[in-house]
Amino acid sequence: MGVVDKTAKQIKALKIQGASNIRKMAVEALLYASRESKAKTEEEFRKEFLKNAKILFYARPTEPELRTAIRVLKRSISRQGQSVEDLKRKIIHAAENYEKNRKEALEHIANYGAEMIQPGSTILTLCHSSSAVNMLIKAKKRIEKVYCCETRPLYQGRITARELKKAGIDATLIVDNAASTVMKKCDYFITGADAFLADGDVINKIGTNQVSTVCKRYEVKHYVVTSTHKFEPESFFGKAEPIEERSPDEVWELKGKNGRGKVKIQNPAFDRTDSSMIEGIICELGIFSPTALASELYNKLKLERHHEEFLRL
Ligand code: RUB
């Protein structure tokens, strides 16, 4: 199995998880396949590139950043009439630039977020977001305690708790249903994002909307930590972001004495939090209300001119 198929398989199986990590590994795979390509002609190379790009593009449905990065690589070779070597160079250059931008974005995000957190704060988190963890570690001196929702069914909250603990932050794991019991002690609810949409809504790990809504009731401010690369441009043109449905086996195994047998299971991986629940989005451009950031991005990306480009790969 080639590196592209192998990576797509690992993404589907959640061996590679978290939006940033998924994008990083997908770009690396596409880059490797492009660099190692034995294509002799431009046409052959483009065909092979597109085939690989599509395999990765559709590896997980709710991952705009993965799609954005692949579109950026594809756009880098949009001019026709180039040699295979030139095409390879352009793709390498585009991928390096993307990673550099992304790294810088992460640093800006951590700085903005760490400045915002008030000294002595207690924080509630859910799932595992590399962007949020990076920011919390930067804000370490201002943090008294972090409660991490374990995040059934795959327990990514454990990764968060472990990473924070390792960085010297007082982190406590709680079962998801205990969130409201610690909320009165919390100042912020901090999550990452898989997708950020045109109306300012945010798609993130299942449970985020529920906790965010209860947080509103207890006046705990929900901040989303994400680079603008997670923004889904197609949402401006009316496309609904799909919510990935995962295997029932993640929730309850089929067979055995304690198996689920004929019980039906619904297992959505993500949910959508309304922009009105979210106090702010901490991104590389600063801290914005979700709707203000959406219109900022519409102008910045000049989307009215790129409709077609964004609708197809
Ligand atoms: C992970 C998840 C994360 C976001 C952001 O879901 O919802 O909060 O992807 O992560 P899964 P990051 O484990 O199903 O991939 O900030 O690292 O991009």
CA dist., res. 103 & res. 17, Å (int):
18
Q: Is the CB of 17 under 6 A from ligand 1?
A: yes
Q: What's the pLDDT score for residue 302? A: 66
User: What pLDDT does 309 receive?
Assistant: 59
Q: Write down the domain spans for the chain.
A: 3-105, 118-311
Mutate to test the pocket of ligand 1, among 190, 194, 247 (most ligand atoms within 8 A of CB): 194
62 lines ligand 1 (CB under 6 A): no
Active-site residue, selected from the candidate residues 148, 149, 194, 283: 194
Query: Ligand 1 centre from 154 Cα, in Å?
Result: 12
Q: If the chain, 313 residues long, is cut into consecutive pieces of 10 residues, what is the mean pLDDT of each piece? A: 96 94 96 96 96 96 92 92 96 95 97 98 98 98 98 98 98 98 97 96 98 97 96 87 95 94 97 98 98 90 62 61
pLDDT in tens, 78-110: 999 999 999 999 999 999 999 999 999 999 999
Please indicate whether residue 127 is annotated as part of the active site.
Answer: yes
Q: Indicate the CATH number for domain 3-105.
A: 1.20.120.420
Contacts of 276 by beta carbon, 8 Å cutoff, 6+ apart: none
Which of 15, 133, 156 best tests ligand 1's pocket when mutated (most atoms within 8 Å of CB)?
A: 156
Q: How many A from CA of 65 to the centre of ligand 1?
A: 11
Give CA–CA dist 173/96, Å, rounded.
37
Does this model's pTM top 0.85? yes
pLDDT at position 234? 85
Decide whether any atom of ligand 1 lies within 6 Å of the 230 Cβ: no
Tokens encoding 60: 């997980």
Tokens 């059934």 map to which residue?
A: 152
Give the up-direction half-sphere exposure of residue 29: CA atoms within 13 A in the CB hemisphere: 28
- Give me the pLDDT at residue 125, please: 98
CATH class given for the domain over 118-311 = alpha beta
5 catalytic, yes or no? no
Question: What pLDDT is attached to residue 236?
Answer: 85
Q: What share of the chain is helix, strand, coil (3-state, %, to 5)?
A: 50, 15, 35
CB 273 near ligand 1, within 6 Å: no
